[in-house]
Structure 1
Amino acid sequence: MKLTILGGGGFRVPLVYSALLRDHADGRVTSVALYDTDAVRLSAVARVLREQALAHADAPEVSLHTDLDDALRGADFVFSAIRVGGMSGRSCDERIGLSHGVIGQETVGYGGISYALRTLPVVMDLAERVKALAPDAFVINFTNPAGVVTEAMSRVLGDRVIGICDSPIGLARRVLGALDIRVPDDAFDTVTIDYAGLNHLGWLRGLAVDGVDVLPRLFDQPERIETFEEGKLFGADWVTELGAVPNEYLHYYYFTRDVLHADQLAVQTRGGYLVDQQARFYDELAAGQGSALALWERTRLERETTYMATNRQSAGMGDRDEDDLVSGGYEHVALALMRGIAYDQSARLILNVRNGGTLPELDADAVVEVPCVVDATGAHPVPGTSLPAFGVGLVTNAKYVERQTIEAGVGGSKAAAVRALANHPLVDSVTVARSLLGDAMATFPALDYLR
């Protein structure tokens, strides 16, 4: 089976390859085509992968491509993990946002919209090339903002594009840990996660182990709530008042002033930190000294321990605990999704897919993040999933913003871009919305398609 990774020079690629190396089942991925527009980063990441493969006689073959069509031909699955504008683009978004007194994080508010406007024209072209050269392939989208990008690509690929994020399953694992419930990875299919919303905007409402919902135990023991990351971020009082555990990115919505204040006081934005860190990482790899894999592991740990640092600072949390570093694992979700489709191995995963009739507040084509059952025909939302009453307004508003962003990014409508920004709850003024868009267009020449 052939897997093509778009954005093959990206930092997360070794995580995907490590998951492939651990898979020895029949029908496994045997060929990985890495595509990237940056040949230097592509070859640097390939060094890490070669070291990973040394202990594996049956390691999937890796090929490097700067020609998209060559990478796509014959692909059974395509991972889209691109970053248009690079990490420097993220850093610019953060600075522009802060200059106007709004949060500039890359997937919410102004930052998410600006990132999407750079990304949508590119991913739509990618979708057309996949449709032409690998029409039977499924696209698994990692590219942020994942919900917006997945919904836009679905206009070309239909249900053959599926978005993934590890936030929901990571949240579920941390809640189980707070309750002292240990579920081995190979038995995690016994856990039923009741989760609903949009990407980076959803809530955990139930968590059943062997058919018994254990989440009420968490609310009955508030002292346990603040033993894991999301509980610390939101506080035991707010979590129990909601009767649900929010996705960590909802911290930007529920504690906007606190996060903005912390961002304004920070010496460096998250994007600025990652620009410097990645430059050092790729420079050291290019120098060819020492172990590429050890350097990557050390850099990855630094990234994980500093994740959402200003949010934690605003909540008075301090450094991340080791248990909070446990994620859902993009790579594990992606592998389970691939195997479920390729070999009709039924799996239940939280995915970004078209709504159908799952959430009645949204139309059938709206991409939502909900529990799905995966089989040979793709991913299908589980009936009965519902939004909490307090989340309906926020979700429907966010979907309107996403739709206007897509209208701008695909149709070139500047007016739609203004509507998206002005209607986002993290942008508090139409005047500010217009100024943000003006600064984005002045900073990123690629946005000159907006009219």
Structure 2
Amino acid sequence: MRLTILGGGGFRVPLVYGALLTDRGEGRVTDVVLHDTDDSRLHAVRRVLDEQASTVSDAPRVTATTDLDEALRGADFVFSAIRVGGLQGRADDERIALAQGVLGQETVGAGGIAYGLRTVPVAVDIARRVARLAPDAWVINFTNPAGLVTEAMSRHLGDRVIGICDSPVGLGRRIARVLGADPHEAWIDYVGLNHLGWVRGLRVAGRDELPRLLADPHLLGSFEEGRLFGADWLQSLGAIPNEYLHYYYFNRETVRAYQEAGRTRGAFLRDQQADFYARARRADVSALDAWDRTRAEREATYMAENRETAGAGERAADDLSGGYEKVALALMRGIARDERTTLILNVRNRSTLCALDAEAVIEVPCLVDANGAHPVAVDPLPGHATGLVCAVKAVEREILAAAASGSRASAVKAFALHPLVDSVNVARRLVEDYTAVHPGLAYLT
């Protein structure tokens, strides 16, 4: 089986390859094709993968190319993890938003909109090429903003594109661990959009254990989201929000913390990864060791400003291991081998959430089999959550409209309608400032 990884020079590619090395079953991935526009990054990542495979017999063969069409031909699965504009683009997104007093995080608020506006046209081009060159391939999308990009690609690939994210996986794992349950045996009732969802129940042997957690302030304070949001707020909600909702519920404090930080998250990652790629290309350096050290620092500092604002402390050691690569592997195995499983994924809504139309991509538990991912029936969201989901989905639709038409007015509307942008005039200035620095937004007129 052949897997093509778009963004193959990306820092987290070794996580995916590491997961593939653990799969020894029939029908496993035997060929990996890395595609990237930066040949030097491809070379560095290949050095890491070569070291990973050095002690594994019959490891998947790795090739690399900067030719997108060549990479797609013959693919059974396409894993998309591109970053349009690179980490400098992310740093610019954050800096420009914070200068206007609004959030610049890469998937939430103004920064997420800017990232989406320059990413959607590229993702749509990829989807069209997949449909033409590899019509039987399944696309697994990890490109952020994941829900938005998956919806853009689904207009050309239908249900053959599925979005994944490690955030719900980590949240469910932490809740199960606190409750003494096996995460693999628990049913996690998680509903929303990507980076905008809530755990409303965790069932073990048919019994919902979440009320026990919500009733115990000590238990709530024993894991990351409990410390991040506070026991009182979680008890008021009657649910455990995805960590990214901290940007919404505590927006003023978060924006201030990011403004006061010495450098933004994007700038930190830009500098950190520049150092990694420089070292990984040196013949006298173990690329795998350099990658391991860099990844440990990256994971330990994840959402550091949010945790500092909430007094949440350091991340637990068990939360430093990622998880999206395991979701990707489970998804590929489920489809390729018809190994039926349940995963939280980004798929088209159909009739799952009555407040949204059938084509809207949502993030919910799905049953996976040889025919793809099928969202399960869920109870409606409460009013406050429905309002937030509908507002953000309306923003995503304006981004899609702007990307399709090149309409600057639609781009302004996308910013202005977002719950975390508090003025139409701010929205106009954001569009002006973003188009001034991002060549990928030159299409807006």
TM-score strictly above 0.5: yes
1:436 counterpart = 2:392: no
- Contact 1:131/1:157 (8 A) holds in 2: yes
- Contact 1:195/1:385 (8 A) holds in 2: no
CA RMSD of aligned residues (A): 1.0
* Aligned position for 2:405: 411
- Contact 1:228/1:323 (8 A) holds in 2: no
Q: Deviations over 1:135-185 (max 9, x none)?
A: 0001000000001100000111011100000111110111112223345xx
* Aligned position for 1:342: 336
What amino acid is the match of 2:250? F
- Find the aligned partners of 2:440 and 2:54 in 1 and give their Cα distance: 41
Q: Deviations over 1:57-93 (max 9, x none)?
A: 1100000011111111110000000000000000001
1:27-426 alignment, distance < 5 Å: 27-183=27-183, 188=184, 190-327=185-322, 329-426=323-420
- Contact 2:343/2:366 (8 A) holds in 1: yes
- Find the aligned partners of 1:39 and 1:440 in 2 and give their Cα distance: 27
- Find the aligned partners of 1:390 and 1:427 in 2 and give their Cα distance: 18
Worse-superposed segment, 348-357 or 280-289: 280-289
TM-score for the superposition, normalised by structure 2? 0.98
- Contact 1:228/1:324 (8 A) holds in 2: no
- Find the aligned partners of 1:150 and 1:142 in 2 and give their Cα distance: 9
Identity %: 64
- Find the aligned partners of 2:390 and 2:275 in 1 and give their Cα distance: 42
- Contact 1:104/1:110 (8 A) holds in 2: yes
What amino acid is the match of 1:424? H
- Find the aligned partners of 1:4 and 1:419 in 2 and give their Cα distance: 36
- Find the aligned partners of 2:361 and 2:121 in 1 and give their Cα distance: 18
- Find the aligned partners of 2:246 and 2:74 in 1 and give their Cα distance: 42
| Distance apart, 1:384 and its partner CA | 2.8
- Contact 2:221/2:227 (8 A) holds in 1: yes
Q: Secondary structure at the match of 1:368?
A: strand
| Distance apart, 1:208 and its partner CA | 1.1
- Find the aligned partners of 1:56 and 1:22 in 2 and give their Cα distance: 9
Q: Deviations over 1:256-289 (max 9, x none)?
A: 0110111111011001101110010000011222
- Contact 2:399/2:411 (8 A) holds in 1: yes
Q: Secondary structure at the match of 2:325?
A: helix
- Find the aligned partners of 1:25 and 1:162 in 2 and give their Cα distance: 23
Q: Deviations over 1:184-222 (max 9, x none)?
A: xxxx1x221100000000000011122222111101211
- Find the aligned partners of 1:63 and 1:386 in 2 and give their Cα distance: 46
- Contact 1:34/1:64 (8 A) holds in 2: yes
| Distance apart, 1:249 and its partner CA | 0.2
- Contact 2:83/2:143 (8 A) holds in 1: yes
- Contact 2:352/2:377 (8 A) holds in 1: yes
- Contact 2:176/2:186 (8 A) holds in 1: no
- Find the aligned partners of 2:186 and 2:181 in 1 and give their Cα distance: 11
- Find the aligned partners of 2:315 and 2:368 in 1 and give their Cα distance: 33
- Contact 1:200/1:247 (8 A) holds in 2: yes
User: Matched residue pairs, number?
Assistant: 445
Q: Secondary structure at the match of 1:449?
A: coil
| Distance apart, 1:446 and its partner CA | 2.1
- Find the aligned partners of 2:314 and 2:283 in 1 and give their Cα distance: 32
- Find the aligned partners of 2:19 and 2:382 in 1 and give their Cα distance: 34
Q: Secondary structure at the match of 2:384?
A: helix
- Find the aligned partners of 2:319 and 2:227 in 1 and give their Cα distance: 10
- Find the aligned partners of 1:388 and 1:138 in 2 and give their Cα distance: 34
Q: Which runs of 5+ in 2 are unaligned?
A: none
- Find the aligned partners of 1:384 and 1:292 in 2 and give their Cα distance: 45
- Find the aligned partners of 2:76 and 2:321 in 1 and give their Cα distance: 30
| Distance apart, 1:120 and its partner CA | 0.9
Worse-superposed segment, 130-139 or 406-415: 406-415
- Contact 2:188/2:201 (8 A) holds in 1: yes
Q: Deviations over 1:230-255 (max 9, x none)?
A: 11110000011101000000000000
TM-score for the superposition, normalised by structure 1? 0.97
Q: Secondary structure at the match of 1:287?
A: coil
- Find the aligned partners of 1:53 and 1:395 in 2 and give their Cα distance: 43
What amino acid is the match of 1:220? A
- Find the aligned partners of 1:401 and 1:107 in 2 and give their Cα distance: 12
